[in-house]
Amino acid sequence: MSRQSPINKIRNVGIAAHVDAGKTTVTERVLYYTDKTYKIGEVDEGAAEMDWMELERERGITITAAATSVSWRDHRINIIDTPGHVDFTVEVERSLRVLDGVVVVLCAVGCVEPQSETVWRQADRYHIPRVVFVNKMDRLGADFFRAVQALRERLAANAVPVQIPIGSEDTFVGVTDLITLTPYIFDADTLGKNYDPISLYSLREDRQAEIMAWRKNLVESVAEVDEEAMEAYLAGRDLTEEELVAALRRATLNYALIPVLCGSALRNIGIQPLIDAVVDYLPSPVEVPPVIGQKPGKKKETGVRHASDDEPFASLAFKVMSDPYVGRLTYIRVYSGTRKAGATVYNLNTGKKEKLGRLLEMHANDREDVKAAYAGDIVAVVGLKQTFTGDTLCDEKHPLLLERIRFPEPVVSVAIEPKTKVDEESLNEALAKLAEEDPTFKVRYDEATGQTIISGMGELHLDILAKRMTREFGVSANVGPPQVAYKETVAGVGRGEGKFEKPTGAKGQFGHVQLEVRPHAGDDFLFEDRLPGGVLEKEYVAATEKGVRGALEAGVAAGFPVTGVAVALVGGSSHPVESTAIAFEIAAQLAFREAALKAGPELLEPYGLIEIVTPKDYVGDVINDLNGRRSEVVGMEHRADAQILKAVVPIAETFGYATALRSVTQGRATYSMEFYKYDRVPKNITDQILRRTRGFVPEF
């Protein structure tokens, strides 16, 4: 076996941005200029290669992350094009978990927008080096230097231009490379394939002075964060082009500096220098820290895997999807070792062996068989039946459990039912497959109403999934209006007792526990065993915890899941003959409910951080409308000829907000929203919810 590219010449990068910043258009140009495609696919025409799903082409948005590979300057670049809409942030989260670098695309007009901030925080969480591409420099209101300033102010990024634009808006024709001090004009007749250098000294003197000032800024910025560059700078020696690129690379990989480039993907300007920047500044798999994992069965003992073909095999499954032609596809990132197609791997999460039936290199929804997967590769696998998102696949003799991917909880729910009895089984199968693909999509059965409830990250998320059921799985279903995914918690401390006794023939059932419930910081559930040793057998303590977990899902006040609680086992007894694990589970559920009711149950609702871009004339009307939605305006800023409002708003108050905003601003305002937090529901709203869910307001 031999790999296609040396591991030091591999780049695993994602392209991420706020919705409508143009990242898929950027990706399409990358494919064209690297000769991966023979023509440019346009998003607006529904012909983008990477937006392969029918719904993506209809709506002009990216819904699911798509992978591809290109070659450039003898390097292999594995690219994942991610969605920009906040409802599909799961795709960004799991992609960044396995990538080594990211290209963040900003709109030159909107600059740093809400989802830009979300992507940036995700990249920070995974310590991913990045470069920034300021796109849409040809648009009215484009301002490259304002975008750089926004990066510094809003994201606290040490953003340093390595290019500056030639012209802006309708006069934008090219970029000036500050490293080589070379201006480039991109040829429209060749769709930007030809970009010709012109002499710096052919420009006006004031333009030359501006370029030299930004070149000085670049050198000084690099010298501030790189020791070798600092030595040359203090010695008064000019850095060579090669030294400056090497210093920029070191600074980028150390998270000390963010190179910023610019262009217009739609007008085919600036893409080739961006691909150069990916090669020059973003890391290979051997230049990122080795992956760290947990040794199974050994508490707090960790192990590492370096990016080498010679180390034991270790990989992470980060995406599962259904392919109409090859069946279930599992995307994996290989961190170390190699595996041939047909080989066996060990799933450390399930404890089962699985066979790598086929290994595929993906180009959106097209696929090409490969013989083996090597360290640093991202491949799709056919044949894994029991592997799910976040599972570790490794060498059975050298197991190492990699950290799972954490996903946000869904915030919007709808009821769904099959249109006919014939569709019932198909609906359940479709929901199961979609939930398998998307960890932020949850399905549950509400016993009180007899309804199937699906939950997701927003109205668009659930709408897309409902349409996918019809188109991909042929299921006809009725979908109810959206509802907020409320949660429950407790305000104080309460104790409860549960005893389950039931004669069942010769041997009865007996379980008895006493529990204490109190608030717990964060969303995690904490279970404590405070009983002296020997009071209850370990299996009954474990059954008690299992019973509490079941009670958490069932809820207390209104049937919503309980979060943010600590539960302590403070008392109990068993029968030498009649005690069983199931009896303790039931007793725990009874005790938990009594304790939670005494602790004062409260409802929690999700809040969103909404950002509204509106003409100044409508600011007052927009704020008045927000005030009527229980919102709190938390920020205002001026941008070009518009006003930017930021507010924290209950998501329950945002259903249909797009229509309301169009109404109060005559269609001239836009908004975007991301999940912000869960917080307590006001008493009057709580009473309304309880009347709706239970028919009355109970006294706690």
645, 622 Cβ separation under 8 angstroms: yes
Q: What is the pLDDT of residues 538-562, one digit of tens each?
A: 999 999 999 999 999 888 888 888 9
Residue 406's pLDDT is what?
Answer: 84
Q: Which two tokens stand for residue 183?
A: 């201006």
pLDDT tens for 470-493 read 888 888 888 888 888 899 999 999
Q: What is the mean pLDDT of residues 22-46?
A: 83
Q: Which of 18-32, 176-190, 263-277, 438-452 has the lowest mean pLDDT?
A: 438-452
What percent of the chain stands above pLDDT 70? 94
Q: What string of DSSP letters covers 499-560?
A: EEEE--TTS-EEEEEEEEEEE-SSS--EEEE-SPTTSS-HHHHHHHHHHHHHHHHH-SSSSP
pLDDT at 298 over 70: no
631, pLDDT greater than 70: yes
Tell whether the model's pLDDT for residue 185 goes beyond 70: yes
Closest CA to 187 of 261, 108, 271: 271
Q: Is 427 helix (H, G, I), strand (E, B) or coil?
A: helix
Contact 396, 346 (CB under 8 A): yes
Q: For residue 643, what are the β-bridge partners?
A: 614, 638
- Which whole number is the average pLDDT over 382-406? 93
3-state SS, 323-361, equals: ECCCEEEEEEEEEECCEECCCEEEECCCCEEEECCEEEE
Residue 599 pLDDT exceeds 80? yes
Instruction: Please determine, for residue 623, whether its predicted confidence score (pLDDT) is greater than 80.
Output: yes
Using the CB atoms, write b or e for 295-313: b if 16+ within 10 Å: eeeeeeeebebebbbebbb
List, in order, residues 6 or more apart from 636 with CB less than 8 Å away: 619, 643, 644, 645, 646
Alpha-helical segments (H) within 438-480: 459-473
Cα 490 to chain center, whole Å?
A: 30
Q: Rounded CA gap, 272 and 488, in Å?
A: 52
Amino acid code (one letter) for 357: G
Confidence of residue 409 (pLDDT cuts 50, 70, 90): confident
Which 8-state DSSP code applies to residue 265?
A: T
| Residue 418, beta-bridge partner list | 477
- CA angle 24/28/30 to nearest 5° reads 115
Q: What is the mean pLDDT of residues 129-146?
A: 96
> Would you list the DSSP string of 625-690?
HHHTTT-EEEEEEEETTEEEEEEEEEGGG-TTHHHHHHHHHTT--EEEEEEEEEEEPPHHHHHHHH
Residue among 261, 256, 356, 265 nearest 315 (CA): 356
What count of other Cβ atoms lies within 10 Å of the Cβ of residue 127?
9
Determine the length of the chain: 700
